[in-house]
Amino acid sequence: MANLSVSKNYIRPLFKIAMPIMISNIISQVQMLIDRLYLAQLGDIYMSALSNILAPMWTTMSFVFSLSTGASILISQAIGAGETSKIGNYAGALWKYHNIFGIMLFFVWFFGSRGIFSAMGVSENIMPMCLTYIRIYAPVFLFCPLGAACMVTFQTSNYTKPLVYSGIIRAGLNIFLDWVMIFGHLGFPAMGIAGAALATTIAEFAGALVLFVIVLVKKGIISMPTWKQIVCSKFRDYFIGCKLGINTALEDLMWNLGNLLIIRILNSINEMAAGIYSVVFAVELLVVVVIGAIGSGTMTLTGEATGRRDSVQYRGITKLAYAVCALASAFLLVLCILIPKQLIGLFISDPVIIASSVVYMWMMAINLFSKSGNIIFGSAIRGYGNPKWMFFTQIFGTIFVVSLSALFVYGFRWAILGVFVAVLLDEFIRCIVNFGKYLSIRTFEKLKIEKMG
């Protein structure tokens, strides 16, 4: 009972950080779901094209955001330890030096997209749609690093409401422009998938502009560096953050690489296999964004607890976070048991495919309990200052899930079912391993923030 009471004390600080991130992420997912629904009206093949586009695109973007995690951890721990000079040093360096990645991503995607999609096994029937979308969207990569810096600034300052404002504007504009540009309303020509790309690009610019304006004009944001701190920042401070963040970035890269290889395997089954896989996980994402937001709050608060050497807060936050995520997972499981066909039918019209996908929905929902553990325990381990651990377990996970998927699909001839079985086993095993690592964290006395990474 005492432990439960301690955990309850952290509900407000956890949700103060997590709730705006959660709302923003849900808005983003609703935006993406409506994007899919619009394109699904043009034909099921468009769903498969979008799946092949989004997977590699988010792989590269998530690397940029994940790399900034190192700065987030260092800033959180500096706040907890009361080391104000380090806050400005790490934040200023992030705002200055992180932008190089945006330029790199733009050139990679604008000029090298055909090679990327070819390596994924995208068919010639889908290739033109993929190239059209990504080349229109490519300018978004230029301001991706600034978006990451804004996220770190708001999250470490425990002021994440601007993410909601940005999300509402971005999603509302995207949904409206999708309707106009995909189908050709209000005098616009029907542009199909090109319209979806253009609508999303305009909306992303608008959402980023809102964040940027708020972070510049809002007073009292504790981890927002001054202009002088940005200009005079040292690459060494950015490098320290990158040394810590590279583990999370590579962890995400490994996860996304595994996902890309899985899609490559699915593309070898048939053109619709990747689309089915994407639809099932699009439904899952509605809850994963909630879990991810709780994970962001967990990392920030456990980082502050580590800076203060407060093991009670460290444990209390983590226990509370997993309990909330387990409830969210249970909610989706109930929905998948009660109305699985209705959920899938939002995106796919073929009744045979819908009927055969019900079991995948059940497996996905069950898998959420393990995924919740990996996100929450992993966030606590990162907050403590050991993101390397998560990177190493993800290396194992990627090799394991891809190998098992290939075995089940090509060896056992289980087709799409084999991929879902492999994913479920991978998440469960890593959850057990990460939980054991979390329990092994016993002391905060020897931790030296400046030497981590």
Top pLDDT among 131 and 386 is at 131
Q: Give the mean model confidence (pLDDT) for residues 320-337.
A: 93
Lowest mean pLDDT among 86-100, 200-214, 277-291, 393-407: 277-291
Find, among 231, 249, 232, 251, the residue nearest to 241 by Cα: 249
- Confidence grade of residue 452 (pLDDT, cut at 50, 70, 90): very low
Q: Is 50 helix (H, G, I), strand (E, B) or coil?
A: helix
Is the pLDDT at 251 greater than 70, yes or no? Answer: yes
Q: Give the mean model confidence (pLDDT) for residues 160-181.
A: 88
Is the pLDDT at 374 greater than 90, yes or no? Answer: yes
Q: Domain locations in the chain?
A: 2-451
Is the pLDDT at 395 greater than 90, yes or no? Answer: yes
Q: Give the mean model confidence (pLDDT) for residues 180-190.
A: 89
The pLDDT tens digits for 204-245 are 999 889 988 888 888 778 888 888 888 888 989 888 888 888
Is the pLDDT at 321 greater than 90, yes or no? Answer: yes
* Residues 6 or more apart in contact with residue 445 via CB below 8 angstroms: 309
Lowest mean pLDDT among 52-56, 293-297, 365-369: 52-56
Is the pLDDT at 163 greater than 70, yes or no? Answer: yes
Lowest mean pLDDT among 86-100, 193-207, 265-279: 265-279
Whether 438 and 380 have beta carbons less than 8 Å apart is answered as yes
Is the pLDDT at 200 greater than 70, yes or no? Answer: yes
- Two tokens at 136? 């229109």
Whether 157 and 16 have beta carbons less than 8 Å apart is answered as no
pLDDT on residue 6: 52
The pLDDT tens digits for 398-423 are 999 999 999 999 999 998 999 999 99
- Two tokens at 73? 């951890």
Is the pLDDT at 424 greater than 90, yes or no? Answer: yes
Angle between the N-to-C axes of helices 273-308 and 235-269, in degrees from 0 to 180, rounded to the nearest 10: 150
Mean pLDDT of the chain: 85
* Residues 6 or more apart in contact with residue 174 via CB below 8 angstroms: 31, 34, 35, 199, 200, 202, 203, 204
Most confidently predicted of 5-9, 132-136, 356-360: 132-136
